[in-house]
Structure 1
């Protein structure tokens, strides 16, 4: 698996969840065996978005980095 493949899979998995919160991020971190730094990135990204726009779920288009 490439260096960031687990993080990509976790991002995809999270965008498929009905709700993205700290518990979902922790579950994704365990499931995809993410590093503490990767888990912190997910918390910063998703929870910051939720504070800015509570009614809008981050879209998968926002996550494209290719």
Structure 2
């Protein structure tokens, strides 16, 4: 069993909270770096949402 599978198992039933955490972490990173890496952060957030599964939050853009 891979690490990703173990994390997915732990997140089962808490997908909404995980999606919120991904968004908050990305926003904090953007704020700390002055949005210098915002495109990379957005891509990482999108990949994290895909790994978590279920429905990610609506894109505000």
Taking structure 2 as the reference length, what is the TM-score of the superposition? 0.37
Task: Please identify the structure whose Cα radius of gyration is greater.
Answer: 2
Higher helix share: 2
Q: TM-score, normalised by structure 1?
A: 0.36
